[in-house]
Amino acid sequence: MQTFQQLGIHKDFVKGLNELGIVNPTEIQEETIPELLNKNTDFIGQAPTGTGKTAAYGLPILQDIEIENKVIQALILAPTRELAQQIKKQLFKFTKYVEGKIFTEEVYGGEKIQIQINNLKRPTHIVVATPGRLLDLIERGAVNLKHIKTLVLDEADEMLSMGFKEDLDKILKYTGNSKNTWLFSATMPAELDQLIKKYMSPKAIRVEPKNDLINKNITHQYIQVSRTNKDDVLINLLDQHQQERGIIFTRTKAGAQKLVKSLKDEGFSVEALEGNMQQRDREKVMRAFKKESLQFLVSTDVSARGIDVNNLAFVIHYQLPESLAYYTHRSGRTARGGNSGISIALILPHELPQLKEIEQKLQISFKEKAL
């Protein structure tokens, strides 16, 4: 295994990484960083959620910024406000010991657009954005992307599944052909392949998982339940994990709300994350969860996008997800940053074939868990 310095990262950035406890590069970082540092190229990186993609593209971007040139040189697109905020925060931490100041602005919906317009008038090297708000700013003439050298599409599969395809088409046209496009995704659906063919060089470098379509530090388990004992099994499971934190996934908002009510009645420290929430309520829940004053989170697939919380011991699939991609993203909320984690599915007898399909297609193995 190579060190970050051996991969070509400047010692000032390495010092910042070490302070964050990031010492050894992950597989995606080891394969990606030298390519992005040394070649003027389009790039496609497929890697499981939680394996360090932000540092894989963020460090080469930061190292390539011309600090004296106060124009936007890199644009990073992310599917959600939470992920955009998190990327900006990480980039800032990476630069702690770097000589000179690299300025990053974040733009996303749910905030007053005028404040963001004013912020973009300040010297800015990097913009981290959600597609809808960025497009709005472009159409208002409030952001100048003529000088960008690099465009990153982070969690590209999520952006498409959230309905941003049209916005991405427009943004990719606005940003012209002189830039490098770097695309990162946990999964590669057909719709994403079409976007790659349309907007990226056929010579783009590809880095794909050698074996693991899903983070290898995750242990996959299942418990057979019936409709009548499912909640009791879940309560028993949470009792076993009293000293740990985790996320419980449901398919629907109504299911999430109902489950939170019954878990609160049992005395658990739990809140829901679901689509009808006001942004301020969502942020309040996420703050409590990150500060560890909240132990468990119940979430729908859509609401969990962009969540990055350290030290989550487990995820529980109260209901199996609708797609393989959702299983990948759900499970990727645990075992982040080189830690290990458990993904536990509560399944009804007729769902066993679906479990087998997940095993085969994601090349993973489920073990039955005894309670």
Q: Do 202 and 223 lie in a common domain?
A: no
First to last CA, the chain: 39
| E-state strands within the chain | 43-46, 74-77, 104-107, 126-129, 150-153, 180-185, 205-207, 218-224, 246-249, 270-273, 296-299, 314-317, 341-347, 366-368
Instruction: Please tell me the predicted confidence (pLDDT) of residue 47.
Output: 85
Among 179, 207, 235, residue at a domain's last position: 207
Q: 159 with 235, same domain?
A: no
Are 107 and 137 within 8 A, CB to CB? yes
Q: Classify residue 369 by its DSSP letter.
A: P
Same domain, 282 and 161: no
One domain for residues 230 and 103: no
> Residue 187 gets which letter from DSSP?
-
What per-residue confidence (pLDDT) applies to 270?
96
- Residue 85's nearest CA partner among 106, 112, 57, 61 is 106
Domain count, the chain: 2
In this structure, the answer to whether residues 192 and 249 fall within a common structural domain is no
- Residue that terminates a domain, selected from 161, 180, 207: 207
Query: Per residue in 100-140, pLDDT tens?
Result: 999 999 999 989 999 999 999 999 999 999 999 999 999 99
Is residue 237's pLDDT more than 80?
Answer: yes
Structural domain including 145 reads: 4-207
* Residues 183 and 259 grouped into a single domain: no
Amino acid type, 127 = V
Give the DSSP H/E element, type plus range, for residue 57: helix 53-64
Q: 356 and 298 share a domain?
A: yes
- If asked whether residues 26 and 130 sit together in one domain, one would say yes
Length of the chain: 371
Residue 311 lies in a domain: yes
In a shared domain, residues 26 and 174: yes
| Alpha carbon separation from 65 to 37, 68, 128, 148 (Å, rounded) | 12, 9, 15, 10
Q: 257 lies in a domain?
A: yes
236 and 143 in a common domain: no
pLDDT tens for each residue of 168-191: 999 998 887 889 999 999 888 999
Does residue 212 sit within a domain?
no
Handedness of CA 191, 197, 200, 203 (dihedral sign): positive
In a domain, 222, yes or no: yes
Q: For residue 16, is pLDDT > 90?
A: yes
Q: What is the CATH number of the domain that holds 87?
A: 3.40.50.300
